[in-house]
Amino acid sequence: MGSSSSSYAPRKIYLDVDGKVQKQVVFSRHCSPCDIRELLCSSSNIPNTAIMVVDPEGAMVSIDPTMPTNCPKDDMFHSVLSQVAEQFNAFHITELKTELTNRLAMLEKRVEEEGLRVVEIEKCKNDLRKLRDEMTLRGGGLNCSCKYSFSDDGKKVTPRRDVPNYPKYTLSQETIEALKKPTFDVWHWEHNEMLSCLEFMYHDLGLVKEFNMNPITLKRWLLAIQENYRNNPFHNFRHCFCVSQMMYGMIHLCNLQEKLTLTDLGILMTAAVCHDLDHPGYNNYQINARTELAVRYNDISPLENHHCAVAFQILSLPECNIFANVDPEVFKKIRQAIITLILATDMARHSEALECFKQKVDNFDFTNEEHVTCLKKVLIKCCDISNEVRPTEVAELWVDCLLEEYFMQSDREKSEGLPVAPFMDRDKVTKPTAQIGFIKFVLIPMFETVMRLFPQIEEIMVQPLRDSRDHYEELKQLEDAMTEAQKKKTENMSLGGEKK
């Protein structure tokens, strides 16, 4: 991109002596009005001399027509000088504007180029993380200890302290509308794009303004969140985004902006973002294996307690504290509410949370704090296990990822002589058998209970669950038919061998 110097037009002054142009003076861009005054004053003693000022296009600059023709020569020169100075200043300001515009354009281009480089760097970093995890798996034995040791105060989450470097994407109106719906396809987005979507959600809901968040701090916090999700098959940053996007969608679908406070919406969104931080990829394994987390939290929701601890360890860093400008007493309530919601995602507490909400749903009072807390616990549970609400082509990929993670856990449990849950055993479970019971006895009852308070979710959330149940039941019938046919074939072959 060229500099402003290439577009500079020289300023010219012509001296007319006896009706003929005798001299042309060209001024450089660095010439000041004082220089012009000095030249004109030095020419004032030449008889029969007229002075013409020409603009960059060659047009003569007019002299003030109100100037009397019979004014003294000195007064005339002073008037001309003043007008020349004004014209020159106008030219100078125009040049400065042009130069500033060009420099801004150059800076914008550099920012764009740097943003593209950042995308490539982030992809390389993700590839390196995957390689590191593969090397760990091949190095003999899986390490299921938590990523951060809280017994050593020197080991803390260390997010980036520089200006966040993921490029900001301008979301199209189509994407903005899609973000508000459960049909959103989370598989088509890179990590940097998901970060920008999360950032947009906080701005769109008014949370940045409500909590007086520094936008740069919000970026740093989101980056720290992303970096503290492991590359597990299922419990990873994409799952975090999936749950957060579903929460954002339910806020719009259920018109929660009109029913809950902005503080409640901030609690819901932040709990969704943080709910699985540093998940090791193993679930109820912790208690049976007596891991460090299980010992630390006395077998009480060890993973969920760990997610909370990592979340607030990140928030304890000034450069990542999105609630830094919130009143300390208000922050205490926000902290406790987020902890309550993240702990509610423990499936061991599923019946407790659902029963609490069932008792209140028919006479629900949005001004009652206890009622609202029960609702928020059920909402985050719905979002956490909402994959089957999405279209089949989106949901089935999540089932594959979850089964992969389950099988990794059950394989390890078998090798260590620990109890194995039947729904995690690769020798016993199939995709249909894994999903039918979960959809029929966990998902549908919970979403139908929420539907009693928000009837508008039936078509877009509950009906897809019923369709998914029917889909997997059909697959189960096909599996059973194939198994039976294979069994008969084996029996026939066995009988044929005996006759021979």
Residues with catalytic function: 235
User: Which region among 17-21, 99-103, 288-292, 310-314 has the lowest average model confidence (pLDDT)?
Assistant: 17-21
Which H/E stretch holds residue 493?
helix 463-499
Residues of each annotated binding site for Zn(2+): 239, 275-276, 384
Residue 298 has pLDDT above 80, yes or no: yes
Distance CA 247, CA 240 (A): 11
Distance CA 405, CA 414 (A): 15
Q: Residue 109, exposed/middle/buried by CB under 10 A (0-12, 13-18, 19+)?
A: exposed
Residue bearing the bigger pLDDT, 21 or 149: 21
Q: Are 433 and 421 in contact (CB under 8 A)?
A: no
Which H/E stretch holds residue 247?
helix 237-253
Residue 93 has pLDDT above 80, yes or no: no
Residues of each annotated binding site: 235-239, 275-276, 384, 435
Q: Which residues of 364-385 are buried (b: 16+ CB within 10 A; e: fewer)?
A: eeeeeeebbbbbbbbbbbbbbb
Residues of each annotated binding site for AMP: 235-239, 276, 384, 435
Q: Tell me the sheet residues that pair with 52.
A: 14
Which H/E stretch holds residue 49?
strand 49-54
Q: Which domains does the chain have, with CATH numbers?
A: 11-69 (no CATH), 173-414 (1.10.1300.10)
What pLDDT digit, counting tens, does each position of 313-352 carry? 999 999 999 999 999 999 999 999 999 999 999 999 999 9
Which H/E stretch holds residue 21?
strand 20-27
Instruction: Return the pLDDT at 133.
Output: 63
> In which band, very low, low, confident or very high, does the pLDDT at 39 lie, cut at 50, 70 and 90?
low
Query: Cβ contacts of residue 442 below 8 Å, gap of 6+?
Result: 350, 385
Average pLDDT over every residue of 353-359? 97
Q: What are the phi and psi torsion angles at 211 (to 5°)? A: -100, 10
Which H/E stretch holds residue 13?
strand 11-17
Mean of the per-residue pLDDT values of the chain? 80
> In which band, very low, low, confident or very high, does the pLDDT at 101 lie, cut at 50, 70 and 90?
confident
Residue with tokens 């020569």: 73
Structure tokens at 105: 């354009």
Q: What's the one-letter identity of residue 326? A: V
Which H/E stretch holds residue 26?
strand 20-27
What pLDDT digit, counting tens, does each position of 48-75 carry? 555 555 545 555 544 444 444 444 445 5
